[in-house]
Amino acid sequence: AMISYNIITGDTLTKVFQRIPGVGVDNVLTDRHFIILLTTIIFTLPISLYRDIAKLGKVSLLSLVLTIVILVVVMVRAVTFSPQVPKSENAWIFAKPNAVQAIGVMSFAFICHHNSFLIYGSLEEPTLKNWSQVTHMSVALALIISVAFAASGYMTFTGYTEGDIFENYCRDDNLATFGRFCYGVTVILTFPLECFVTREVIANVFFHGNLSTVFHVVVTVVIIAVATGVSLVYDCLGIVLELNGVLSATPLVFIIPSACYLRLSKERWNHSDNLISCLILVLGVLVMAVGFVMTVLHPQECSHGREMFYCSPSNVSLHNSTLPP
C-alpha cells in the first residue's frame, strides 16, 4: 500500500507543479523521484513517527473531506469531458478475462483488517457496539465513494482508464489539476496509517510489542525507506494494485478470516455458517491463484506519465474518423 501511495504521489504532484508558470519539463519539481523523496522527508516520515494512532484523527478527517472534493471533480468531468474521449471497443461488456484481477483491486480498496486492532484501541469507548457502528458506517461510506468513483471514471474513459485515473486527464485541465493536488494530499495523509500497522506488526513479532524511542525511530525509517526505494524504481500503479489485491487483500479479506472461523467453529461441518465460510475460502484461494497468474501473464499497460492521445484535438479527430459507425 505504501508503495502504491508513493507512486500516486509522484505521478500526481509532478503534473500539478507543471501547471505553475515558469516550471518546465526540465524543472526538478517535475521529477517524480524528487517529489517522492521530498514528500516523504517533509510529510510522511514526520507524521509516521507518531506513536499513538489516535493523533491521526484530524489528519484522517481532512483526508476524507478531500476525497469527497476529488469525487466531485471526477463526477463533473464525467459530464463535461466524456464527450471528448472516444469510447473503446466493446466498452460495455460486463466482464473480461482480467475481471479476476479487478476483484483483487476492489478487495484492496476495502481492506481494513490489518489496522482493526489499532483503530479499536483508539476508540474513546472501545466496546463491540461502538466498533460495529464504526465499521459499518466506514465500509458503507467506502462502498458509496468507490462505486461513484468507478462509475464516473469508467463512463469518462471506458477501456482507456488507467490504474491512476488522474493519469487520464489532460495536463492543461485546471479542474483536474486541482483534483490532482487534493488527491496527492489525501494519499500523503493516508500513508502513515499503513506505516503504523507495519511497525506494530514488527514490534509484536520481534520486540514483544514494545519499542524504545530509538528503535521506534529506526524501524519507522527502515519501513519508509524500503517502501520509498521500491516506488522510486517502479512506476506502474496498475500492476502494483493488482499484486496488492491478489497477494495481500484477498488473503486478509477472504481466506484468513474464513479459515479462522472454520478452525474455531464448534458447529457441525454442514452447518450453514460453515458452508458459507468454506465457499468464501475456496473463492478467495481461486481469486488469489488465478489473479496472480493473470497479472504476471497479462500485466496492465501503463501510461508512465505520457499525455493521452485524446488530449490532442488532431488525434481525437483522426481516431474518431477510424471508428466504425
What the block records as the C-alpha cell of 152 is 464516473
Q: What is the pLDDT of residues 67-104, one digit of tens each?
A: 999 999 999 999 999 998 998 888 888 877 777 778 88
Q: What is the pTM of this model?
A: 0.82
Decide if 244 contacts 1 (C-beta within 8 A). Answer: yes
Q: Which amino acid is at 37?
A: L
DSSP structural state of residue 83: G
Q: Where are the alpha helices (DSSP H) in the chain?
A: 2-18, 32-39, 45-48, 57-80, 99-110, 116-122, 128-157, 174-206, 213-233, 237-244, 250, 256-264, 272-297, 313-322
Decide if 110 contacts 253 (C-beta within 8 A). Answer: yes
**Rounded distance between C-alpha atoms, residue 59 and residue 75, angstroms:** 25
Q: What is the pLDDT of residues 228-276, one digit of tens each?
A: 999 998 877 778 888 888 888 899 889 999 999 999 998 888 888 899 9
Q: What is the pLDDT of residues 29-68, one digit of tens each?
A: 889 999 999 999 999 999 999 988 878 888 888 998 999 9
Decide if 188 contacts 37 (C-beta within 8 A). Answer: no
